[in-house]
Structure 1
Amino acid sequence: MAEIHVENLKVVYRGVILALQGVSLRAGPGEAIALLGPNGAGKSTLVRAMAGLLPQYDGRVLDGKIVIAAQDTSHAPALKVASLGLTAILEGRPVFRYLTVLENLRAAAHRLGAARRKEISDEIFRRFPRLYERRNEQAGYLSGGEQQMLLLGMALLTEPKILVVDEPSLGLSPKLVEEVMRVLDELRRDKGLTLVLVEQNARAAFQIVERVYVMEQGRVVFEGTAQEAQADADVMEFYLGAGAAGGFAEAKRYRRRKRWV
């Protein structure tokens, strides 16, 4: 098991656009945390920073640090971060759309020997029988839920210690959201993974995480347990709409009044 610490992280794009303004969080060995917040809060930027992918987006760490398994990875390339056991599943379901399911899995398993690749692939097909049924079809023709399962399978083939998943429920039906969350919870418990779940579907995230961070405008504005988040009136009303009555116009007025930052 591994852990990740982010300390006072500041990130800029193109040298001038400040996207993260001193973000700090931690996920201990085997712990599941959720990172919540609206669009534009900086969640995906934080994922890119943790995964070493900022340079691909013309971004860089300006200040602060990221520590994975006791090593400073603030400016480390993605391959170095991956070698420490962190695997990130980015938003948008970035599968190889013109390759089959089997070919996608083989691509993810390029560092494994044949025997280990078969062992993990067999496990993937046991967990996701629908993928086995569609193993020879192009990934671009899979449903959103099937593509998400394929990405989880590809992640397993990297043998992660820390799994960062960005918006896994986006665009899925409530039934599929429930299934994806169940699988993530099972994988975390079965494999002893440290899980960082980046979500806008807070209610779904609350079911499988111990602690919650809420971001807005590049800052963390709330930190606490899942139970504390659900008991916090500001978190529930501001991000989940609980108790907000009177329609969209009133909700907008409430949002302006209740901003933390």
Structure 2
Amino acid sequence: MLSVENLKVVYRGVILALDGVSLEVGEGEAVALLGPNGAGKSSLVRAIAGLLPKFEGRVLDGKVRLFGREATHLDPVGISQMGLTAILEGRPLFRYLTPVENLMAAGHRLPPKALKEGMEEVFARFPRLYERRHEQAGYLSGGEQQMLLLGMALLTRPRLLVVDEPSLGLAPKLVGEVMQTLEALRREKGLSLLLVEQNARAALGVVDRVYVLERGRVVFEGSAKEAMEDQDVMEFYLGKEEVGFRQARRYRRRKRWV
């Protein structure tokens, strides 16, 4: 479904954000991309979704292939038409429009009957969103806005869903709800999923495989089980190291990707 090969991305011609990143997402597979702030996760999402030019970035080298076709330099409309939908970080909604109007905008390519049925499905899946369907989207809570974004994504009829930092700023209970929703959508709709997250604990519970990105490079690749069994990954992202200077020094020595 998605193949990224040795991708290098620069901003303004000089700032190297990705330095030879490769990853794959198979049909029906859920893959997590983990990493701290500044690792290059959002740059990879922008490259996949064709949005780099809008951020003064470009692909310097490497390839992006979607559904077996070259897509490295396609624009966002072309990529969307191929079947990829990306939900970017920051919850980009039409904040002065209502949830109903946001959903109508997202599903504008659907026939009227399909759009109506799709919106009914979204509101059935997210009852809280239905209760606030006529309020401005900018006044929804963070969790409700994330639900609206997922509903909008469904109305684009994606084959591959890329979600960037869906748990950002949400309470732990809402994080769990969002992750359960992503897992259910993947199962029920047969979607492939690329989940881009800092919250490793939440992501590892719903994905098959994991990539860890740091300083623009992939520093770990393996199954979710392998990630949970890797002491370096667990210590760095889940904070399971012992307390004290001696242990911190030992961890720095063991951190294989530095």
Could you tell me the TM-score, scaled by structure 1's length? 0.95
Would the aligned equivalents of 2:30 and 2:192 in 1 still touch at CA under 8 Å? Answer: yes
In the alignment, the residues of structure 2 paired with residue 163 and residue 105 of structure 1 have an alpha-carbon distance, to the nearest angstrom, of: 17
Deviations 1:52-87, CA, capped at 9 Å, x for gaps: 000000000111100001111111111111011000
Relative to structure 1, the CA distance from residue 124 to residue 38 in structure 2 (aligned partners, 3 Å threshold; closer, same or farther) is same
Are 2:67 and 1:75 aligned?
A: no
Would the aligned equivalents of 2:232 and 2:254 in 1 still touch at CA under 8 Å? Answer: no
What one-letter code is carried by the residue in structure 2 that aligns with 1:144? G
Q: What residue in structure 1 maps to residue 229 of structure 2?
A: 231
Q: Offset of 1:110 from its aligned partner?
A: 1.1
1:1-261 alignment to 2 at 5 Å?
3-246=1-244, 254-255=251-252, 258=255, 260-261=257-258
| SS across alignment from 1:146 | helix
Deviations 1:126-162, CA, capped at 9 Å, x for gaps: 1001111100000010000000000000000100000
| SS across alignment from 1:188 | helix
Would the aligned equivalents of 2:40 and 2:213 in 1 still touch at CA under 8 Å? Answer: yes
Q: Offset of 1:166 from its aligned partner?
A: 0.3
Would the aligned equivalents of 2:84 and 2:162 in 1 still touch at CA under 8 Å? Answer: yes
**Aligned-residue RMSD, C-alpha:** 1.6
Q: Offset of 1:245 from its aligned partner?
A: 1.6
Equivalent residue pairs, number: 258
What one-letter code is carried by the residue in structure 1 that aligns with 2:255? K
Q: Offset of 1:233 from its aligned partner?
A: 0.6
Unaligned runs of 5+ in 2: none
Q: Offset of 1:244 from its aligned partner?
A: 3.6
In the alignment, the residues of structure 2 paired with residue 140 and residue 79 of structure 1 have an alpha-carbon distance, to the nearest angstrom, of: 25
Q: Give the 4+ runs in structure 1 shifted more than 3 A.
A: 249-257
Would the aligned equivalents of 1:238 and 1:255 in 2 still touch at CA under 8 Å? Answer: no
In the alignment, the residues of structure 2 paired with residue 253 and residue 66 of structure 1 have an alpha-carbon distance, to the nearest angstrom, of: 38
Would the aligned equivalents of 2:106 and 2:152 in 1 still touch at CA under 8 Å? Answer: yes
Unaligned runs of 5+ in 1: none
In the alignment, the residues of structure 2 paired with residue 234 and residue 145 of structure 1 have an alpha-carbon distance, to the nearest angstrom, of: 31
| SS across alignment from 2:44 | helix
| SS across alignment from 2:152 | helix
Relative to structure 1, the CA distance from residue 220 to residue 116 in structure 2 (aligned partners, 3 Å threshold; closer, same or farther) is same
Would the aligned equivalents of 1:164 and 1:197 in 2 still touch at CA under 8 Å? Answer: yes
In the alignment, the residues of structure 2 paired with residue 256 and residue 157 of structure 1 have an alpha-carbon distance, to the nearest angstrom, of: 48
